[in-house]
């Protein structure tokens, strides 16, 4: 998957953390500084894979964060959303999500187009307003949302109110 690189910086009261690479057995989170932050923004855009050991390390790390710190996930690729739906604790109860990707599929050429869904636009709370007119990024023909909605958007119910 490629070793996980973690870049973090303080932005006001928020710790903004960018991940690049695979969340696996080699992922190290212990040196991620969130001291003094009341919010931790987790930018998952660069996550290229998640395996079973990575899921465990992730959950263990989140459990070490100070209580009261709000988690805010951004730019989550499908492979991260899948784990949020499969394993309790990957997206803990009360977390927020600002944006994630949803796959659209082109029957014509078989290409997959990832469409970003933003809080307040394509979804609000657990209500999803998926865009209907999406064009295939490869051939330009219409592409259809390629998820089972009840399953893929289930994690939205876990968000903090």
Partner 1 sequence: MSAALKLGNSTSVVVHFGEAMPKGVNGDRCVLVSDQHETLTVMDFLVSSGIHHAVNKNHINFDQELKVAEHMVASPDDFFKDPATIIIGGGLSEGIKGYERVIAQSQEKSRRLSEMKDYLATIPKSKVITDSLTVISDELITNAFYNAPVDGKKQRKFCDIDRNINIGLQEHERPRFIVKHNDSWVMVGVLDPFGSLNPHDLLSHILKGLKNGVNSVMNLESSGGAHIGSLMVLDLSVGLYVAVDQDKRTLVCATLPLGKSHRVIAQHPKSIHVLFREQKNR
The residues binding partner 1 (CB under 8 A) are 1-3, 22, 24-26, 49-53, 55-56, 59-60, 78-79, 86-89, 103, 105, 107, 109-112, 144, 146-148, 151
Minimum distance from CB of 83 to partner 1 (Å)? Answer: 9
Give the nearer residue to partner 1 in terms of CB position, either 10 or 114.
114
Give the nearer residue to partner 1 in terms of CB position, either 14 or 49.
49
Minimum distance from CB of 128 to partner 1 (Å)? Answer: 15
Give the nearer residue to partner 1 in terms of CB position, either 24 or 43.
24
Give the nearer residue to partner 1 in terms of CB position, either 39 or 154.
154
Q: Are 18 and 43 in contact (CB under 8 A)?
A: yes
Hey, what are 79's tokens? Answer: 């492979």
Minimum distance from CB of 93 to partner 1 (Å)? Answer: 13
How would you label 125-156 residue by residue, b for 16+ Cβ within 10 Å and e otherwise? Answer: eeeeebeeebebeeeeeebebbbeeeebbebb
Minimum distance from CB of 72 to partner 1 (Å)? Answer: 23
CA distance 142 to 38: 43
SS3 99: strand
Hey, what are 14's tokens? Answer: 């928020």
């Amino acid at each position: 998957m490629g070793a996980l690189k973690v870049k973090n910086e303080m932005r006001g009261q928020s710790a903004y953390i960018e991940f690049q690479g695979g969340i696996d057995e080699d992922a190290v989170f212990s040196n991620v500084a969130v001291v003094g932050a009341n919010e931790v923004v987790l930018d998952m855009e660069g996550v290229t894979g998640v395996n079973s050991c990575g899921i465990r390390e992730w959950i263990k790390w989140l459990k070490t964060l100070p209580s009261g710190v709000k988690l805010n996930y951004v730019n989550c690729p499908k492979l991260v959303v899948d784990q949020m739906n499969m394993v309790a604790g990957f997206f803990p109860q009360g977390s927020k999500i600002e944006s994630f990707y949803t796959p659209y599929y082109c029957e014509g050429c078989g290409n997959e187009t990832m469409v970003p869904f933003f809080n307040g636009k394509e979804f609000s709370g657990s209500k999803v307003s998926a865009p209907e007119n999406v064009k295939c990024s490869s051939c330009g023909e219409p592409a259809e949302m390629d998820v089972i909605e009840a399953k893929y958007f289930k994690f939205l119910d876990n968000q903090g109110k």
